[in-house]
Structure 1
Amino acid sequence: MKIELMVIGKTSARYLQEGIDNYVKRTNYYMPFDIRYIPDIKSTKAMTEEKQKEKEGELFLNALTPGDVLVLLDERGKEMTSREFASYIDRKSVTVSKRLVFVVGGPYGFSPAMYERADDKISLSKMTFSHEMVRLFFVEQTYRAMTILRGEPYHHD
């Protein structure tokens, strides 16, 4: 199984990108992990929020391949502890044959088509974070999950 994080637009803050790159490299030691950057939609000022979500959804859905398991990082998703997330990844590593794809939506969330296609929804917190910070938090939690599964000392309860 390969894990992929799919996001809209590049990470603009250099300090966040450095952290993301660090945890992606660490995570790849345990399991194939990649980030796919979907290009920003142009001319969004003239679009309604719903139209922007629809356009972003089309880009995300077009990037999926048959057999992908789609997990939305969504505020209304299931909240988990780090250990529960590690167990989730462990279970998926047995049942997912290709890619486990996690998606961070755009500024307005996901389109109805994305919710229909999603296999699961996970919430990182009840708090709201910038989309760029969510990228760093998610890759760190994925690395943490790998160390938990290996019984390594990175995570402390």
Structure 2
Amino acid sequence: MNIKLIAVGKTDHKELEHLIQDYIKRLGFYIKFTFDLIPDIKNAKNLSEIQQKDKEGKLILSKISNADIMILLDENGKLYDSVGFSKLLQKHMNSGIKQLIFIIGGPYGFSKDVYNRANGKLSLSKMTFSHQMIRLFFIEQLYRGFTILRNEPYHHR
């Protein structure tokens, strides 16, 4: 199984990008992982929130195949602790799917079309984080999930 993270907009902070790349490298020991960035929408200031979400949604959906399982990182998604999240990863790996895709939307969230295509929603916290920080938090949790599945000492129980 491959895991892909799709996010809207680039990471502006070099420190965050460095940490993200560190965890991506670590993930490579466990699974094929790709991080795909969708560029910011040009002239977004001239668009309504709905127009911006629709444009981002079309770009997101263009990167998804019918066979992919797509999970949105969404504030109204299901909350898991780290062990529960690792069990979710194991469940998807056991299901035989080829690609599991997680999506971080733009500043206003997701379009209706993206919500309609999604196979599920996941929340990392009841708190709100910047779209740039959530990338690091999510990739770290993926790494943690795989260390839990392998009973490695990174996650202390």
Give the TM interval when normalised to the shorter protein: over 0.9
The structure 1 segments of at least 4 consecutive aligned residues displaced by more than 6 Å after TM superposition are none
* 1:23-78 residue CA offsets vs partner (Å, 9 max, x unmatched): 01101100111100111110011100011011100000011123110000000000
Gaps of at least 5 residues in structure 1 are none
- Give the corresponding residue for 1:97: 97
Q: Residues 53 and 109 of structure 1 are in contact (CA less than 8 Å); yes or no, is this contact kept in structure 2?
A: yes
Measure how far apart 1:20 and its partner are. Answer: 0.4
Q: Distance in 1 between matches of 2:51 and 2:7?
A: 18
Q: Residues 69 and 97 of structure 2 are in contact (CA less than 8 Å); yes or no, is this contact kept in structure 1?
A: no
- Give the corresponding residue for 2:88: 88
Give secondary structure in 2 for the equivalent of 1:73: strand
Q: TM-score, normalised by structure 1?
A: 0.98
1:28 has 2:32 as partner: no
Q: Residues 5 and 35 of structure 1 are in contact (CA less than 8 Å); yes or no, is this contact kept in structure 2?
A: yes
Q: Residues 144 and 154 of structure 1 are in contact (CA less than 8 Å); yes or no, is this contact kept in structure 2?
A: yes
The 3 A distance-change label for structure 1 pair 129 and 96 is: farther
Matches within 5 A, 1:1-157: 1-157=1-157
Task: Tell me the number of residue pairs that the alignment of Structure 1 and Structure 2 aligns.
Answer: 157
Identity %: 49
Measure how far apart 1:156 and its partner are. Answer: 1.2
Give secondary structure in 2 for the equivalent of 1:36: strand
Q: TM-score, normalised by structure 2?
A: 0.98
Cα RMSD for the two superposed structures: 0.7
Give secondary structure in 2 for the equivalent of 1:114: helix
Q: Distance in 1 between matches of 2:96 and 2:103?
A: 16
Gaps of at least 5 residues in structure 2 are none
* 1:1-25 residue CA offsets vs partner (Å, 9 max, x unmatched): 0000001121110000001000011
Q: Distance in 2 between matches of 1:65 and 1:113?
A: 14
The 3 A distance-change label for structure 1 pair 77 and 33 is: same
Give secondary structure in 2 for the equivalent of 1:63: coil
Measure how far apart 1:97 and its partner are. Answer: 2.1
Q: Distance in 2 between matches of 1:96 and 1:44?
A: 39
The 3 A distance-change label for structure 1 pair 13 and 81 is: same
Q: Distance in 2 between matches of 1:66 and 1:115?
A: 15
